[in-house]
Amino acid sequence: MMFDISPMKWLEIIAVILAILCVWQTVKENIWCWITGSVSNLLFCYAFFTARLYSDMALQLVYVLLNAYGWYQWLHGGKRQSSLSVTMTTIRTWIVLALVALILTSALGQWLSLHTNTDVPYWDATTTVMSLVAQFMLAKKLIENWWIWISVNVMYIGIYYYKMLYLTSGLQIIFIALSIMGYLEWKKSLRAAEEA
């Protein structure tokens, strides 16, 4: 039957809808993005487990923790525990994040290769670590997080398509468009903060 969709596909559909809503809320700097994102992350966690994308599965659980951190940062991470404003990433922060990303990607890729049955260990590791970097930058309202998300989403298109998660693969195209919008919206916020 044409509309006979498996429970797993329904789960993926709901996760995709919530993920789109979450990124839209993030573009608009709406603090509820952290709650919407957490529900979507838990649904994707199960989907990735069944697809044998283990570091992506674990990443979804880490996102839930980072979402709590992001919620707090957006409310109290500014000067004198005020709400956080959009800022630019310093050179020092870029260097630290790049070194951490290189080390973690190598270690995670090696671990996945040796200890799991995944057939894409280094791709999985790369996207996982880059996503963590982007999520940390997002929680800190660093405008360049959108650049990292665009790069990650391009890689995810191929990985998810290869794993036959077609809806999730297509979702990455929407994420890329929303990330471009996010960068432009946050750039306006950055200018407004600088002028104030």
The predicted structure's pLDDT at residue 2: 53
pLDDT (average), residues 137-147: 97
Three-class SS string for 141-168? CECCHHHHHHHHHHHHHHHHHHCCCHHH
Residue type, 138: L
The predicted structure's pLDDT at residue 4: 62
Domain spans, the chain: 7-77+89-195
* 87 strand-pairing partners: 142
Instruction: Provide the whole-model pTM.
Output: 0.87
pLDDT (average), residues 161-178: 91
pLDDT (average), residues 174-182: 96
pLDDT (average), residues 103-117: 95
| Lowest model confidence (mean pLDDT) among 1-10, 95-104, 147-156 | 1-10
Q: pLDDT over 90 for what percent of the chain?
A: 72
> Closest Cα partner for 42 from 23, 57, 26, 20?
57
Q: Are 11 and 47 in contact (CB under 8 A)?
A: yes
pLDDT at 111 over 90: yes
pLDDT at 5 over 80: no
Q: What is the dihedral of CA 62, 66, 88, 187, to 10 degrees?
A: 100
Give residues with Cβ within 8 angstroms of 144, minimum separation 6. 88, 89, 137
pLDDT at 73 over 50: yes
The predicted structure's pLDDT at residue 27: 95
pLDDT (average), residues 120-147: 95
Select the highest-mean-pLDDT range: 11-25, 47-61, 117-131, 136-150: 136-150
DSSP class per residue in 105-128: HHHHHHHHHHHS--S-HHHHHHHH
The predicted structure's pLDDT at residue 1: 46
Average pLDDT for the chain: 92
pLDDT (average), residues 173-196: 93
